[in-house]
Amino acid sequence: MEDQQSFFNFLRMPPEMFDELLNRVGPRIQKKNTTFRKALEPGLKLAITIRHLASGDRVIDIQPSKPEEWRAIAEEFNRRWNIPHACGALDGKHIAVRSPPKTGTLFHNYKGFFSIVLLALVDADYKFLWVDVGGYGSMSDAQIFNAFELKECLEDKSIGFPEPDAMPNDDQDMLYFILGDDAFGLITYLMKPHSIRGITKEEAITNYRISRGRRVVENAFGILAQRWQILLSTMMQGPDTVGVVTETCVCLHNLMRTRYPTLQNALLDMEDDQHNIVPGLWRANANMHEVNNVTGPNRDTIAAKTQREYLKLYFNSPAGSVQWQERMINSQ
């Protein structure tokens, strides 16, 4: 409390957030004194842990499940990014680790180092909705997603998305979906941009609209790693422990976004009055590596192609267009 700026610089969070965390976890990490040594105070133990996560110095899943919760997420995507029915953006990043013993090349990625993969679904406010940590570094986004509980829940509809309904200013029912890139197959519950080969103007507009919404996951990873810089180091723990550390950073990130929503805004990509992108400060610094997306041809379903075609018509119609979209594709 005597020097709040130094406190913030050291632990990457305001004193009030530290106090809240201490109140919540303090009783669980309090130990008794013994005849051999005096137990560390919970506040000191928490500070050591937070500093470790924030600096990288050596010393779960998160899931909405009800239709109304997903509907609120989709409404926020539409309000902020003009993509109705989008329930999150999906992507993956490498977390560098020391080579686990007796694992061969399982953890060795295409960048030449050992890693596990953080695959995450992010909402319109850069908060993590669902994470999977621990995929082998040699695996692609799509391979991990295919073994991901999220995909199973999307396919059997246990995820709890709302029933299909009409998009704004329209009268045809549309499924709810998540946003991905070309690493993933086109599925009714996962919309991705068109191939740029032979692309039409209408498809380019659709790509711009989808990519504009997907930018939230890039930014979420960026500000996550800039605050908890242990994610930029090579962690010495085993893969399971690295997974716990990573999930802890994700939980702290979400708490920070909830309690102090404007604190990291200078790090984020912004749009000026003309909707041109102003790169966020996180892009000027080191970031986690992308996951290798080369997986061979994806199997896009006919139903998904039909759905994306309808999205294209919607984005290029008076009902779903935004006034600056043609200018944006002409400037690329």
Instruction: State how far the alpha carbon of 122 is from the alpha carbons of 2, 33, 77, 144, 180, in Å.
Output: 36, 43, 11, 17, 11
DSSP-based three-state secondary structure for 318: coil
- What's the whole-model pTM score? 0.83
Asked if 85 contacts 175 with a C-beta cutoff of 8 angstroms, the reply is yes
Closest CA to 77 of 204, 168, 185, 181: 168
Radius of gyration of the chain (CA): 21
Helical packing angle, 4-11 and 15-29, nearest 10°: 60
Closest CA to 282 of 126, 153, 131, 162: 126
pLDDT at residue 298, rounded to an integer: 59
**Domain ranges for the chain:** 4-55, 67-330
List the pLDDT tens digit at each of the 332 positions of the chain.
Answer: 778 888 887 888 899 999 999 999 999 999 888 877 788 899 999 998 898 888 765 554 455 878 999 999 999 999 999 999 999 999 999 999 998 888 888 999 888 999 999 999 999 999 999 998 988 999 888 888 888 788 888 998 989 999 999 999 999 999 999 999 988 889 999 999 998 888 999 999 999 999 999 999 999 999 999 999 999 999 999 999 999 999 999 999 999 999 988 888 888 999 999 999 999 999 988 888 888 655 445 567 899 999 999 999 999 999 999 999 999 998 77
Q: How far apart are CA 133 and CA 60, in angstroms?
A: 8
b/e burial code for range 28-53 (CB count within 10 A of at least 16 → b):
eeeeeeeeeeeeeebeebbbebbbeb
pLDDT at residue 60, rounded to an integer: 45
DSSP-based three-state secondary structure for 117: strand
